[in-house]
Amino acid sequence: MKLQTQRFIDRWLGQLLCSVVSLWVRLTSLFSAPAQLGKTPKNILIILLSEMGSIVLAGPMFAELRRRYPGAAIHILQLKKNQEVSKLLQLTQSGHMHSLDDSSGGTLIRDILAVSVQMRRLGLDAVIDCELFSRVSALLSFSTGAPVRVGFTPHTQEGLYRGSFINHAIPYNPYQHISKQFLSLVDALEPGTSAPRNKAAPIRSLPAETELSVAFSDGEIPAYRAILTVDHPVVANRKLVLMYAGGGILPERAWPADHYAGVAQGLCAAGFAVGLIGLKDDAQLAKDLMSKIHSDACIDLTGYTRSIRELLMLFHCAQLLITNDGGPGHFATLTPIQTMVFFGPETGKLYGPLGSRNTVLESGIACSPCLSAYNHRLSFCDGDNQCLKRIAPDPVLEQALHFLRATRAASAGASPL
């Protein structure tokens, strides 16, 4: 199903259904006490329908849930196309991973009904809706039958109505990193810690790490590096820099291709290899870039990795990733690679990768960021993303070379005589 179609249905039909459910909950709650989570919950569902990169940013939330409720089974509901990352990170048991197929309206409705019935039979103690102002996820939280429903509320924001049946709600805060807000959703499970009336919630710092990892066998990464060297001999004698120049489902997040070409030319001239990564759909972009770069040290790696696991192994084989805002920048935090990530339509202050091995590059012009939970990530720039176009390539190249040369010098200093 097209993204615009999903937004249209969510906006009009979603608001109507949310109002009906809110009225029903208000009437039935007149005869019952407010729902509270027991001391030893058995089943908690996490609804996380966003892009795959959000799963990495939610890592601290999953870790906190496991620490706080060690006896509870953590269930995850995602879009089918996003499940690969959760399985790779082993966020929960495979039998506790549930999915929705949004390839068509029919399959989506079918899966929503099936999951709702399955969750009601399971007997959930609580559900955490990690989506910001999606009506479908709010309705899903109600349809599961969980007595405790945690999620974000727009509070007094107009035009973002998603009902009033989230009974442990916190206000979405556009000034706080999303990882901190995910942790606040866990806090809201406890009695008396719902917001905006809450005054006693814990004061949290931005998580220093994702608390996620992927286990590789002793010989797995060296074997992958050997295959990479056979397929692309240029990386045998050059340190590898990876570039992700695609914009994914939001093309306005992409730094200009000509800027990427200029940085790649400089890196190749300085003795480094450059690998252009992406999906098979990015092959034409890579071909266009290589025609501008004109260097045998630049290689096309679009479609080269067949899974997220292979992508992480490729990151282990490189020293630096230069990327647009998106999944690769977040996946890179699970590996030792250094990253440089461009932000403009969205901001690194809210969605920047966690950890210390990344640099956020932003221009800071007046209209940036323009994508938010309040406009359903619809930009008003009509593709003319000046926030990224004004980040010049020369300073980016200089910063990349400074890191790479420092790393090379440190490696040389650590080598035995």
Report d(CA 354, CA 334) in Å as an integer: 10
Report d(CA 366, CA 362) in Å as an integer: 12
Q: What confidence tens digit (pLDDT) does each residue in 336-374 have?
A: 999 999 999 999 999 999 999 999 999 989 999 998 888
Mean pLDDT of 253-258: 95
Cβ-count burial 36-54 (b if 16+ within 10 Å, e if not): ebeeebebbbbbbbbbbbb
What was the pLDDT predicted at 193? 53
Q: Please give the domain boundaries of the chain with CATH numbers for all domains.
A: 3-187 (3.40.50.2000), 220-414 (3.40.50.2000)
pLDDT band for 35, please (50, 70, 90 cuts).
confident
Sign of the Cα pseudo-torsion (400, 405, 410, 414, in order): positive
Report d(CA 222, CA 211) in Å as an integer: 24
Mean pLDDT of 89-114: 93
Taking CA atoms, 402 is separated from 222, 270, 397, 399, 408, in Å, by 27, 11, 8, 5, 10
Q: Is the pLDDT of residue 128 over 60?
A: yes
Instruction: Please state the separation of Cα 146 from the chain's center in Å.
Output: 26
What was the pLDDT predicted at 195? 54
Per residue, the 3-state secondary structure of the chain, as one string, reads CCHHHHHHHHHHHHHHHHHHHHHHHHHHHHHCCCCCCCCCCCEEEEECCCCHHHHHHCHHHHHHHHHHCCCCEEEEEEEHHHHHHHHHHCCCCHHHEEEECCCCHHHHHHHHHHHHHHHHHHCCCEEEECCCCCHHHHHHHHHCCCCEEEEEECCCCCCCCCCCCCCEEEECCCCCCHHHHHHHHHHCCCCCCCCCCCCCCCCCCCCCCCCCCCCCCCCHHHHHHHHHHHHCHHHHCCCEEEEECCCCCCHHHCCCHHHHHHHHHHHHHCCCEEEEEECHHHHHHHHHHHHHHCCCCEEEEECCCCCHHHHHHHHHCCCEEEEECCHHHHHHHHCCCEEEEECCCCCHHHHCCCCCCEEEECCCCCCCCCCCCCCCCCCCCCCCCHHHHCCCHHHHHHHHHHHHHHHHHHHHHHCCC
Mean pLDDT of 1-5: 73
276 vs 417: which has the higher pLDDT? 276
Burial class of residue 159 (count of CB atoms within 10 Å of its CB; 0-12, 13-18, 19+): exposed
What was the pLDDT predicted at 290? 95
Q: Is the pLDDT of residue 377 over 90?
A: no
Residue matched to tokens 């692309």: 232
Q: What confidence tens digit (pLDDT) does each residue in 149-189 have?
A: 999 988 777 778 888 899 998 888 889 999 999 999 999 99
What was the pLDDT predicted at 157? 76
Residue type, 345: P
Taking CA atoms, 47 is separated from 34, 52, 142, 174, 242, in Å, by 22, 13, 12, 20, 32
What was the pLDDT predicted at 89? 94
Cβ-count burial 265-275 (b if 16+ within 10 Å, e if not): bbbbebebbbb
Q: Is the pLDDT of residue 323 over 90?
A: yes
Angle at 255 between CA 250 and CA 260, to 5 degrees: 135
